[in-house]
Structure 1
Amino acid sequence: MTTTDVDTSVLTAASAKDQAFPVKNPYTGAVAFNVRPGGAAQLASSVRAAKTAFQTHLRTAAHQRAAWLTGAAAAMESVAADLVEMTIAHIGKPRKAAEMEVKRSVAFVRACATHLHSLKGEMVPVDMVPNGAGLFGFTRRIPYGVVAAVTPFNAPSNLLVQKLAPALIAGNAVVIKPCLEGTEIAQAIAKAFIAGGVPEGLVQVLPGDREEALGLAAHPDVDVVTLTGGTAAGDALARAAGAKRFIGELGGNSANIVLADADIEDAVKRIVPSSFEASGQQCISTQRIIVETSVFDEFLHRFIDAAKRLKVGDPTLPDTDLGPVVSSRAAARIIAMIDDARGRGCRVETCGELADCIIPPTIVIDPPVGTRLIKEEVFGPVVVVIRASDIDDAIRIANDCEFGLQGSCFTSSLANAMRMSEEINVGSLWINEASRFRLDNYPFGGVGRSGVGREGLPYAFEEYTQPKFTGIRLP
């Protein structure tokens, strides 16, 4: 997942001069707000404040931490309308998608409060070895300390609270380093958490970009680094972090397989929004559609027809399906990948007109091996449709990729579904649902170059805690 398309060399210069960096509304081109990077001084003070707050509240009872998050959810709900408007203006997300994201974010914070009881320890049968006779042992899960959370632009509320809420309720303090476009949203959420009852110091926001993210990862008082972002960013942060806990939800190139026995109409209905809504700027957006030959032409015809019916344009309108991509730099990168496909002789169906940061739904048919759209993460409203001779070929094509975040398969056969579960190399797989579908109560995360660790309840609690063993010699 691409965390930001801002030119970091420009930002570094701005940081050095203590200048603000303008973030533009990607639809209107007007400056939405300015970010003043925190730099080394604010980084140090944020971590220091977080560590002090962690130590102060380390022994806070679980019911009190749950009450904090219940209050935080209520406070977020009270500013939900503001969060929606900022999401539209700052990243160009269409209104209905922005409203859905903020609503989901509030629900997730509440869910963390009610699921805290799932954070359990266990009895260890130490007397299973001779020297353990007469001894008693147990484990409990304890927080790490200070968590550095580096968050992306594409879901600035939801992907922030997916880290903040579990880490906080498990007993940690959190320093958030949002992407530039998500800075004001992160600050608004942090204020809501404090207004809801979370003690001062436990939630910090550090504005900035690469310099601040790497500095946080390397800071000796940061105990956990968690990132949702690109694989290259994950590599850089993991190197900077060194020997400390690293959680990364990284790049994706989701394959959606349509087998000959699938309900084609249903597959089209689900894969079209998975491909293009939010302008394809989700790590699990559909990017590769792999279709068995016998139903390829029918699927393609229906898919193109459905994509053409999507409404593209002004993200402030309630019926817009696709708004702009996040920036002109992002648009240029995506267009370059489309041009690479055209240069290789691919058939390209563009369902509308290009205009500044607006990229309409774009479909590339049967691209040859080596095409960038097959191997790289496009992070835009572009999909490739690839012909597979049979189920074996479909599995081979799906797995011929370094990413393995989430995928899907459409089939009416339980045997085919179980085979996909066994053989598709991803962290999570949906059958008869498209790859962008996600719930917050299953383990979400990738394999291979798509990252390490899992989000979702109760799995996220385990990521932000560690087991501590206590042994007792009974008198």
Structure 2
Amino acid sequence: MQVAKDRIYSPFDGRVVGEMPLATEAEVEAAVGAAVASFQTYRRLPRFVRADILQRASELLGKRREEAAALISAEAGKPLYDARGEVARSIFNLSNAAAEARRIAGVEIPLDMDGGIFAYQTTGDGGARIDLSDMDQQALVAGSRRVGLARRFPIGPVLAIAPFNFPLNLVLHKVAPALAVGNSVVLKPAPQTPLTSVLLAEILTEAGLPDGVLNVVHCAVPLAEKMVRDDRFHMVTFTGSAPVGWHIKSIAGKKKVALELGGNAAVIVCADADLELAAARCVRGGVVYGGQYCIGVQRILVHESVRKPFQESLVRKLRDCKVGDPALPDTDVGPVIDQRSAARIKSWIDEAVEAGARIVIGGGRANSIVEPTLLAGTKPGMKVEDEEIFGPVMTINSFERFGDAVSRANATRYGLQGGLFTRDLRQAFTALEDWDVGGLMINDVPIYRIDNMPFGGWKESGIGREGTRFAMEEMSELKHLVINYH
């Protein structure tokens, strides 16, 4: 029987990067069955075995880093510089998961904190106390001779559904902690970028991961939804768009769900900010990888007293960005993932202009490449203000009062990360109190992320947290043991 295959195309020039077998319903069922069966043995492996597998995988990826970077650049259209950065982060992600696999531990729960089991007597001042003079001391000691131990255990088979924009590292944000804590995984990579997941699975197998523990399934949406509904999975972890994420939650049943969804990140630039630093970081955060970051810079709010010099610096830096072939080492901005996405981004720019916004720089499109674009005079109600652009487009507006800037930055249904440039710690802590985001970066932009950080959002940006240790906690359950040693 001939196996159906999907061709994977380069977003930049349309060339065929490779082919990926399209899983049938029987093959999906076999993958789920393998994950269920392998979990029963993998969960019982000593932690040092799991750690050693992950550490070897990190080292093997290090040896194949250029191969991995070239593949990411080809199938995701990511500039080679950024693809190499993703591979470097992935090497760390694996080694950090290995370290966390060794050190994650339970805690002792003190059980002698409440004296309610003992007899109290009323004191003259209306209080109460244990009468130690009359009470049997042995009974008091015996009542305290209990110890509580809370330990974490793997939750069970995990369904991981990954996005296209980080086809290696965001996959590892699901796979590495799941393996570290003792879970098996069925991985559904993004349809545009499955080849990198195959490479990762190959590396983990070479590192010693037992058969059936990681299963890569490239399948149609109906089969993916069937897996989401499947009660043999104990958890679904998804990164992608908000509509898809909340749909997954609605059909997942009683299993645990972790969602890393969209953003509409804002940056506030105060009058006391380092304007050159702020401009450089905003350009990096707004147009890197074609702006296809859920934490990319989308809205910039700058104090009116420094608006002109800041904007001039921003435009100079945008003009200096090299746009083109992602395979070239000096390319800053390559294509977005496909021409349909490019057409959508361009239509949002055009709609904003028709509604009164002004193009400061950029605004053009050629096939799947959208020029780095800065829009001024945008207003709430425009898609470029209210929705997630997921393209190399930023808006810029002024503010007079800091509180108004925080309110406008916060006036979105998303709450992933934000950035604030200021030397005033009072403003930093005020923003922390009033701005509902999962992460606030002071004197940096929202794309700042180190892979062991807790990462996740408020509001419609998702539920749960990633970052190796935090994801391991999401992917495990507590058991509490109480021992009475009287």
TM-score by length of 2: 0.91
Does 1:381 find its partner at 2:392? yes
| 1:163 counterpart = 2:148 | no
Identity of counterpart residues, as a percentage? 36
Q: Where does residue 175 of structure 1 map in the other structure?
A: 186
Distance (Å, rounded) in 2 between the aligned partners of 1:236 and 1:150: 13
Q: Given the superposition, is the C-alpha separation of residues 376 and 18 from structure 1 closer, same or farther in structure 2, using an over 3 Å criterion?
A: farther
- 1:118 is displaced (CA, Å) by 3.9
Choose 83-92 or 209-218, whichever is displaced more. Answer: 209-218
How much does 1:443 deviate?
0.8
Match of 2:253 in 1: 242
Verify the 8 A CA contact 2:153 2:181 in the aligned structure 1: yes
Identify the residue that residue 70 of structure 1 maps to in structure 2: 55
Residue 274 of structure 1 aligns with which residue? Answer: 285
Q: 110-119 or 32-41: which moved more?
A: 32-41
Contact 1:293/1:390 (CA < 8 Å) preserved in 2? Answer: no
Q: CA deviation at 1:136?
A: 2.7
Correspondences of 1:223-242 after superposition (within 5 Å): 223-242=234-253
Aligned to 1:197: 208
Matched, 1:150 2:135: no
CA-CA distance at 1:125 after TM superposition: 2.5
Once the two structures are TM-superposed, the CA of residue 99 in structure 1 deviates from its matched residue by: 0.7
**3-state SS of 1:383 partner:** strand
Q: Which residue of 1 aligns with 2:90?
A: 105
Cα drift, residue 208 of structure 1: 2.2
Matches within 5 A, 1:73-472: 73-129=58-114, 130=116, 133-351=144-362, 353-472=364-483
Say whether residues 1:42 and 2:53 are aligned partners. Answer: no
Q: Give SS of 1:319's match.
A: coil
Measure, in 2, the Cα distance between the counterparts of 1:272 and 1:346.
20
In the alignment, the residues of structure 1 paired with residue 251 and residue 198 of structure 2 have an alpha-carbon distance, to the nearest angstrom, of 25
For 2:278, give the aligned amino acid: A
Per-residue deviation at 1:52? 0.8
Moved more, 44-53 or 345-354: 345-354
* Per-residue CA distance 1:88-111 (angstroms, 9 max, x = gap): 111110111101101110111011
- Displacement of 1:209 in angstroms is 4.3
Relative to the length of structure 1, the TM-score reads 0.93
Tell me by how many angstroms 1:18 deviates: 7.6
* 1:248 counterpart SS class: strand
Q: Does 1:51 align with 2:51?
A: no
| Cα contact 1:92–1:326 (8 A) shared by 2 | yes
Can you give the 5+ residue segments of structure 2 that lack an aligned partner in the other structure? 118-142
Equivalent-residue separation in structure 1 for 2:257 and 2:363 (angstroms): 42
Provide the rounded CA distance (Å) in 2 between the counterparts of 1:121 and 1:317. Answer: 48
How big is the shift at 1:50? 0.7
Match of 2:130 in 1: none
Aligned residues: 459
Q: CA RMSD in A?
A: 1.7
Determine the C-alpha separation between the residues in 2 that align with 1:299 and 1:418. 24
Distance 1:21 1:386 in 2: 44
- What is the match of residue 11 of structure 1? none
For the residues of structure 1 that align with 2:273 and 2:62, how far apart are their CA atoms? Answer: 40
Shift of 1:370: 0.8
Identify if the C-alpha distance between structure 1 residues 352 and 253 changes in structure 2 by more than 3 Å, giving closer, same or farther.
closer
Please give the alpha-carbon distance, in whole angstroms, between the structure 2 residues aligned to 1:247 and 1:172: 15
**In the alignment, residue 299 of structure 2 is paired with which amino acid?**
R
Instruction: Give the drift of 1:368.
Output: 2.1
1:23-34 alignment runs, 5 A limit: 23-34=8-19
- The residue matched to 1:181 in structure 2 has which SS? coil
Q: Secondary structure at the match of 1:246?
A: strand
Contact 2:266/2:299, CA 8 A, preserved across alignment = yes
Asked if the contact 2:194–2:218 (Cα under 8 Å) also holds between the matched residues in 1, the reply is yes
Q: Deviations over 1:395-426 (max 9, x none)?
A: 11101000000111000111111111111110
Q: Secondary structure at the match of 1:148?
A: strand
